[in-house]
Copies of this chain bind each other. A is one copy, B any other.
Amino acid sequence: MEERVISQAVISRLPRYFRYLGELKDQGVERISSQDLSKLMKVTASQIRQDFNNFGGFGQQGYGYNVEYLYAEIAKILGLNQSHHLVLIGCGNLGQALVNYLNFERRGFVFCGLFDQNPDLWGMKIRDLEVKPMEQLEEFVRGNNIDIAVLTIPKDSAVKVAEVLVSAGIKAIWNFAHVDLNVPASIPVENVHLTDSVLKLSYKLKSMNDKDA
């Protein structure tokens, strides 16, 4: 496949395609036209074709897409043909929710180490993994081929912890702390800012009310 720059918008849509194709696959659907996929996903068929053209097309006009093939191809594009090793930093409710969410492991995101600064949590087990002191984080990341660090800690400590992770050779950060991290551009960061999300909802709700008024 020729190399090309894929837009952020296309990338953001890939996981959703992957989700719908996974469900179709589970339902035993073998082929689907861009029209039917369009109705199901509530995006235009032309958008779907354009998105897929970024990756060489995948299908035949008028014949539809092979669901299993398309699912496997998108999995490869998303880097899911290999598993990832994760560390969790911050073992509160949110961190525990992530470790307990089995869907991640099914997709190859495997938690290998859990860390917290609170001594009361050290030794506590979440799915057979023991919570370790933060002091062991750097060595653990270095020694265990860790790809992704998941930050579920308050914003005040997140920036500093990110620095430790970078110096330990982390490859990517999934950041739930409500702060923008300052890491080299070669280390991708995906932010989940829950406050930003609920503020967006509040804005939309207000817009609806303004319309009604």
Which residues on A are within 8 Å of B, measured CB to CB? 3, 11-12, 14-16, 18-19, 41-42, 77-80, 84, 92-94, 96-98, 100-101, 103-104, 107, 109, 147-148, 171-172, 174, 178, 180, 186-190, 192-210
Task: From B79, B192, B203, give the contact of A192 (CB < 8 A).
Answer: B192
Q: Are B198 and A190 in contact (CB under 8 A)?
A: yes
Q: Are A203 and B19 in contact (CB under 8 A)?
A: no
Q: A171-B208, A198-B109 are in contact. Are A78 and B192 (CB under 8 A)?
A: no
Besides A93-B94, A147-B205, 6 more A-B contacts (Cβ < 8 Å) are A12-B196, A19-B193, A41-B180, A148-B205, A172-B205, A188-B201
Bound-complex Cα distance A128 to B58 (A): 54
Q: Are B79 and A203 in contact (CB under 8 A)?
A: yes
Cross-chain pairs A/B with CB under 8 angstroms, 24 sampled: A11-B200, A11-B203, A11-B204, A12-B196, A14-B200, A14-B203, A15-B193, A15-B196, A15-B197, A16-B193, A16-B196, A19-B178, A41-B180, A42-B180, A79-B202, A79-B206, A94-B97, A104-B198, A107-B198, A147-B205, A148-B201, A172-B202, A172-B208, A190-B200
Q: Which of A11, A84, A96, A194 has the most CB of B within 10 A?
A: A194
Q: A192-B192, A195-B107 are in contact. Are A206 and B94 (CB under 8 A)?
A: no
Q: Which residues of B contact A188 (CB under 8 A)?
A: 201, 204-205, 207-208
How far apart are A16's CB and chain B's nearest CB, in angstroms?
Answer: 6
Q: Are A195 and B78 in contact (CB under 8 A)?
A: no
Q: Which residues of B contact A93 (CB under 8 A)?
A: 93-94, 96-97, 100
